A and B are shown apart, each in its own frame.
Chain A
């Protein structure tokens, strides 16, 4: 990726630390920049804190009692860890896709229409239009256009995940967080989702946590390597996968540990 002009930074994490219930610290002073409209991949061995880090970006961790983040996460310069941040507004701006597909227990159509009805003032016709557009955007339309009334749970795993992506992008977020979106999905469906993610890059800032290093190499512009709650190395994906600067990164991506 040729960066002739520095891209704008959408999210900046500064000295971000995270604690689980009982004071167990999972992140230590993470500094990470997420450039706008690029794909940033977060890799690292299990339990290194990569998902935890991602989950601070929309403060989804606040569902769970006793979890707490310190430091700053600046979204367009605004610290979202500030207790005054309105979580509903934040999550309208920052969408998230999870490891396991989580279609709501309703029809395919309603799954995508749900956030539309929730966030926007739209007529029935406009909703139908946008549902189609979102499903097109998630490369799912052709497969489900004849079964929009079918339950979302009746789709295959890969389709369910794309349904969740359609649902997330229908809400027109600015940032899409993806927490191992393909780890529960077969390889062919995974490739479809990767193609999809690459296309979404034009409109959204994407942060993707992945166990699959080839995936990070294939789709991301920048890669961050986490180890034991710290960020060991961040850089252009090309550099990380050909000539990492840190020995630990080299050892991890060449499979010497992890």
Chain B
């Protein structure tokens, strides 16, 4: 009976032989877990505390405004002209003025800011000019807003000989510009390079790729950025003190004369000693807070990036 001697063919190959293997070293004793868990809990605790603090303050502010301002609120309050102490007045002119000033500021600032952002993201990139532009934008964003107000007072109000809504718009536009420019740039930079390449690979010009594909891809982010910038500046007070100032009339003389607006109104009424004016100030605060809040919410909800 002849059989073939079978070689040892292992079903599973042994691990390659080498320096001390993990298997031979075995499992060393564990460190205690207590400290790590404690550390974990502490960090978590601090985060929750910080969150509670931030949200708490915000809720506190909102509650105060709501409490004090709601008694002033009515349809008449929103639609009638402001009036001095003792007369029943509203904030209609200030509300209209603020809307005019902010919208006009957006009209001045947004188009060039978006163009500048596109240039930074698509063409300037790492060039020196782009770096200089980014740096000055950062400086401008950190500039105290009252300085901007003073500056516009110097270049517009003094030569024109009068405060005007236009001057207020220019001041706000100066504040908006760097914010919109940088958010535009950031949003465009977030669009992956392969999208640019695939546009170019189809035979599109750089201009078409940028305007029709990249900007479209970044559209929601850009709109959100603009809306947040608008909301941010609509409550700015300091630049308006020197420029738009205040008027007790509807904003008919937007380009030539002082124009009413809510931040300055709040400032004035808040400083006054009369209770009815203070109440009106709280009401105005409530209105501007709700406005800013709703713009924020719209920006976040309506222009969220969704897949379909």
Q: Does A touch B (CB under 8 Å) in the complex? A: yes
A88 touches B203 (CB 8 A): yes
The size of the chain A interface, using a CB distance under 8 A, is: 32
> Which residues of chain A are near B199, meaning CB under 8 Å?
104
- Could you tell me the distance between the alpha carbons of A68 and B125 in the complex, rounded to whole angstroms? 18
0 or 1 for each of A109-142: is its CB under 8 Å from B? (1 = yes): 0000011001100000000000000000000000
Q: Determine the interface band of chain B, counting residues with CB < 8 A from chain A.
A: 20 to 34
From B196, B202, B219, give the contact of A167 (CB < 8 A).
Answer: B202
Q: Most chain-B Cβ atoms within 10 A of its Cβ — which of A94, A153, A167?
A: A153
Closest chain A residue, CB of each to CB of B193: A63
Query: Closest Cβ of chain B: how far from A73's Cβ, in Å?
Result: 15
From A94, A102, A118, A164, give the contact of B204 (CB < 8 A).
Answer: A118
- Could you tell me the distance between the alpha carbons of A177 and B202 in the complex, rounded to whole angstroms? 11
- In the complex, whether B66 has a CB less than 8 A from a CB of chain A is no
From B125, B195, B203, B307, give the contact of A119 (CB < 8 A).
Answer: B203
From B194, B196, B208, B307, give the contact of A99 (CB < 8 A).
Answer: B194
Q: Most chain-A Cβ atoms within 10 A of its Cβ — which of B202, B208, B219?
A: B202
> Which residues of chain A are near B308, meaning CB under 8 Å?
150-151, 153-154
- In the complex, whether A171 has a CB less than 8 A from a CB of chain B is yes
B200 touches A104 (CB 8 A): no
| A118 with B203, Cβ < 8 A, contacts A60-B197, A98-B197 known | yes
A106 touches B216 (CB 8 A): yes
A60 touches B201 (CB 8 A): yes
- In the complex, whether B136 has a CB less than 8 A from a CB of chain A is no
- Could you tell me the distance between the alpha carbons of A243 and B208 in the complex, rounded to whole angstroms? 49
- Could you tell me the distance between the alpha carbons of A95 and B202 in the complex, rounded to whole angstroms? 6
A151-185 at interface with B (beta carbon < 8 Å): 151, 153-154, 164, 167-168, 171, 177
- In the complex, whether B213 has a CB less than 8 A from a CB of chain A is yes
- Could you tell me the distance between the alpha carbons of A95 and B199 in the complex, rounded to whole angstroms? 10
> Which residues of chain B are near A88, meaning CB under 8 Å?
203-205
| A102 with B198, Cβ < 8 A, contacts A118-B204, A153-B307, A153-B308 known | yes
- Could you tell me the distance between the alpha carbons of A87 and B192 in the complex, rounded to whole angstroms? 22
- Could you tell me the distance between the alpha carbons of A39 and B301 in the complex, rounded to whole angstroms? 48
A50-65 at interface with B (beta carbon < 8 Å): 58, 60, 63, 65
| A105 with B213, Cβ < 8 A, contacts A63-B197, A153-B308 known | yes
A58 touches B201 (CB 8 A): yes
A88-106 at interface with B (beta carbon < 8 Å): 88-89, 91-92, 94-96, 98-100, 102, 104-106
B249-284 at interface with A (beta carbon < 8 Å): none
- In the complex, whether B126 has a CB less than 8 A from a CB of chain A is yes
What residues of chain A have their CB less than 8 Å away from a CB belonging to chain B?
58, 60, 63, 65, 87-89, 91-92, 94-96, 98-100, 102, 104-106, 114-115, 118-119, 150-151, 153-154, 164, 167-168, 171, 177
